[in-house]
Structure 1
């Protein structure tokens, strides 16, 4: 299994971002990876600064850049003391999600780590969440952190719709949390038995259809696990009928999952839209950390 070599974590110095930095440092220590700290000074605030200090905007911007650099350096020292990891610090200006993804590509990062929500909640309501934009527009695996990291991930849930990106999600789960208990979940969507009966389908046909659907799903999932190069017993297979966001939420709670790993692209067309929709539902409705993985990674 190829290890994680380089992690970039974005921080706006908020409390939620501090959770992301802590998790990134723990992952870097676990994997022996490089850690890069990034702070982006958003052009929105630079515009405000130029209005507030029109006589000396350049001096104010330089002061802000120096402050951000020193703050990153201070936090890097804390991480060295607490986790024994060295960090490289980067300060950028621009749109946060664009700079996060640009730096990740430039550094060839194996993972982006970001707080599930920054400090500018009201602004994000109107202009769109930096986290959501980074998750869905970037192509690097992106981890949205909600919980305080105290140990390596213990229970990982990987929903799959059999798309290339959900295949990559399982590979990434195995890479990120090699010692965790991993469950591969597929949710089968089909008409309810009541609707099928109303349509005149008899009970034996309904049961046969459900059984075949379950058997086919389990066989496909066993193939995915084999393709990932692990033993069948290393990954639990779970197949359920229902509405995907609701089932994923219920299973995440019942399993005590501290990490969900989701592929963010479907097989084609409407399936890609569907999976993005499911991922967004999961982002808003579950409590654990979420790792989104692109098909190409």
Structure 2
């Protein structure tokens, strides 16, 4: 079955980076690029018809401009408009087209996590049947450095599998945040320090075994590096992104139906890199 990438185009200047990345990914994967723009369903029918023609023409012109700017080949593509609620139509189109991935531009209200929840991007992330890419950086090069926060959850294993499958030539860094009871009270005690170091070593071996088992299921695997950092998972991740932002962050949705997790809201409000959010299973 041929692959389909669904790009939700809103015609804004901020959407241009996502458009370029969508074209690049379609070329690299051999997928068809379906470009969808959602129109206001409450416009008069005659205006809606004229607007539809203008939107399709504008998208086609933008596609040509971006290809020329980035020196990209023309992928197999389909441009279409639909009328309705943006997030609901994007989800519906993804289901009907059996999309392999949804691509959108980044959240525009940067630095305001409390405003993320009601955006089209956040709503799509909650209900998407496939991985969703939030793109905020220019598509000048392929994603090479990919960061994947890891734990022992089903969501994490699924996200890592999706990342390994989609980016076999990338360099993956697996980041795990750990906290061991008693660190604040006993951290200076030598016996406790030895016990703590033993526990961290066991944790590393466990993570390595989990990763090796998953890698054995795949034909091609990229270069991997495992990092263990002490602290709260959200703060460890945000510190890592500020200090050394990757090209792409691959994150699991944790299956939190109906609401965005705190970590996702922070990441969408502070996009240090492009983000791929995967469903929980």
Determine whether 1:152 maps to 2:135.
no
Other-structure match for 2:61: 74
- Whether the 8 Å contact between 1:26 and 1:149 is mirrored in structure 2 is yes
The 3-state SS of whatever aligns with 2:280 is coil
Partner of 1:15: 13
> What are the superposed Cα offsets for residues 88-124 of structure 1, whole Å, 9 maximum, x if unpaired?
01101111111111111111111110001369xx9x9
Unaligned runs of 5+ in 2: none
What residue in structure 2 maps to residue 52 of structure 1?
none
Segments of structure 1 that go 5 or more residues without pairing to the other structure are 50-56
Give the equivalent residue in structure 1 for 2:51: 64
**Cα distance in structure 2, aligned partners of 1:96 and 1:60:** 19
> Deviation at 1:179?
1.9
TM-score normalised to the size of structure 1? 0.80
User: For each residue in 1:8-37, what CA deviation from the matched residue of structure 2 results, as whole angstroms up to 9, or x when unmatched?
Assistant: 111111112111110000111111111111
- State the partner residue of 2:229: 240
Superposed counterparts of 1:1-297, under 5 Å: 5-43=3-41, 46=42, 49=43, 57-78=44-65, 82-85=71-74, 86-117=76-107, 125=115, 128-191=118-181, 193-196=183-186, 202-230=192-220, 234-265=223-254, 276-296=261-281
- Cα distance in 2 for partners of 1:76, 1:202 equals 60
More helix by share: 1
> 1:17 and 1:76 mapped to 2: Cα distance?
12
Aligned length: 275
Distance 1:107 1:146, change over 3 A: same
Does the residue aligned with 1:143 lie in a helix, a strand or coil? strand
* Aligned-residue CA RMSD (Å): 3.3
> Is contact 2:161-2:214 (8 Å) kept?
no
